[in-house]
């Protein structure tokens, strides 16, 4: 009997929680085996990898999101993931910097 191959997403052991951040409904997915975190934005349907901070989620690079969504669960925390977590950024910070730049011109 053949066993269907799990998708990369389904290879993780997810713990999920629903929350609101800045009024926006989100679903956080935390893999209990490898510690990777993703957020689904209810309003847009967009899913992306995140670094979890004390008061907010910092989005990781599109490259990290694509790689983590493509790869299966490694089953443990990876040292390489520490490098990936350094790709974090806050879209709100980018918007504020762009606004400040425009005002100074």
pTM: 0.76
- What is the reported pLDDT for 96? 47
**SS3 per-residue string spanning the chain:** CCCCCCCCHHHCCEEEEEEEECCEEEEEEEECCCCCEEEEECCCCCEEEEEECCCCEEECCHHHHHHHHHCCCCCCCCHHHHHHHCCCECHHHHHHHHHHHHHHC
pLDDT digits (tens, 9 = 90+) for 45-79: 999 999 998 778 899 999 999 999 999 999 999 99
């Amino acid at each position: 009997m053949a066993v269907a191959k799990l998708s990369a997403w389904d290879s993780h052991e997810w713990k999920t929680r629903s929350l609101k951040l800045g009024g926006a409904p989100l679903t956080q997915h935390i893999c209990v085996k490898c510690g990777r975190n993703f957020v689904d934005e209810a309003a847009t349907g967009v899913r992306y990898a995140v670094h979890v901070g004390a008061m907010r989620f910092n989005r990781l690079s599109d490259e990290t999101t694509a790689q983590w969504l493509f790869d299966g669960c490694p089953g443990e925390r990876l040292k390489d993931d520490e490098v990936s977590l350094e790709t974090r950024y806050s879209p709100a910070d980018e918007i504020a910097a762009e606004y400040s730049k425009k005002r100074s011109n």
